[in-house]
């Protein structure tokens, strides 16, 4: 079997794998002009250059730095590499992203792009995905840390709010045991009959 990722490097042998979504999780991008973008990336589409205006989610730089200290970082996006690669070149200021996966690595499931974590070549008990789209982790809900969709709320604190939780998760034996139960509603919200 050919895995999507190469074997774990020596520096990450004891670390878990954190899979990060790009769009609406770490950044928001638009072909329309956005006032005060964090950066602009030229992308060639049909032999024409188009500017993509990119906003970084608040706290993303600090979040990436801290996660890079604890995890093997993979960015897995359903976007095309010709857009996502230059965005990541500018976004990853701390150089913590070890692997990049794009649309062609997704599984097309009923017209949606699903990120099949079982194809990464990593132990699922030591792999988690941070994504705003539940469809993306459809096959691996037990590995998911759901985040809200982000466009431009400058008061958003979700990435930084997750740092302590994710740092703790880096130390557990099996993330699926924690994440599977974390997604269940607390007993007070469940109806009893």
**Average pLDDT of every residue of the chain:** 92
27 compared with 181, residue with greater pLDDT: 27
Question: Looking at residue 180, what is its pLDDT?
Answer: 78
Question: Looking at residue 139, what is its pLDDT?
Answer: 94
Question: Considering 10, 21, 153, 180, which one is annotated as catalytic?
Answer: 21
Question: Looking at residue 183, what is its pLDDT?
Answer: 52
Alpha-carbon distance 45 to 42, whole Å?
10
**CATH 3.40.50.1000 is the classification of domain 11-183:** yes
Question: Looking at residue 193, what is its pLDDT?
Answer: 39
Give the mean model confidence (pLDDT) for residues 139-168. 96
Confidence tier at 7 by pLDDT (50, 70, 90)? very high
Asked if 116 is an active-site residue, the reply is no
Question: Considering 10, 23, 89, 173, which one is annotated as catalytic?
Answer: 23
Question: Looking at residue 186, what is its pLDDT?
Answer: 43
Asked if 23 is an active-site residue, the reply is yes
pLDDT exceeds 80 at position 6: yes
For 57, residues 6+ apart whose C-beta sits below 8 A from its C-beta are 25, 26, 27, 28, 150, 156, 158, 159
- Each residue of 58-113: pLDDT tens digit? 999 999 999 999 999 999 999 999 999 999 999 999 999 999 999 999 999 999 99
Domain boundaries, the chain: 11-183
On whether the CB atoms of residues 98 and 9 are closer than 8 A, the answer is yes
């Amino acid at each position: 079997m050919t895995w999507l990722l190469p074997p774990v490097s020596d520096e990450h042998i004891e670390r878990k794998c954190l899979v990060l979504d790009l769009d609406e999780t770490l950044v928001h991008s638009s072909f329309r002009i956005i006032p005060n973008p964090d950066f602009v990336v030229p992308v060639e589409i049909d032999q024409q250059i188009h500017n993509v205006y990119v906003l970084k989610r608040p706290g993303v730089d600090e979040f990436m730095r801290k996660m890079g200290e604890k995890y093997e970082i993979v960015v897995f996006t359903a976007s095309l590499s010709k857009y996502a690669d230059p965005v990541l070149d500018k976004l990853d200021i701390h150089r913590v992203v070890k692997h990049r996966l794009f649309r062609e690595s997704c599984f097309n499931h009923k017209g949606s792009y699903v990120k099949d974590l079982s194809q990464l070549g990593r132990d699922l008990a030591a792999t988690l995905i941070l994504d705003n789209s539940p469809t993306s982790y459809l096959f691996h809900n037990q590995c998911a840390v759901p985040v809200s969709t982000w466009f431009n709320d400058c008061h958003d604190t979700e990435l930084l709010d997750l740092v302590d939780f994710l740092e703790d998760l880096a130390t557990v034996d099996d993330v699926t045991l924690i994440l599977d139960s974390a997604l269940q509603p607390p007993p007070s919200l469940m109806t009893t009959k």
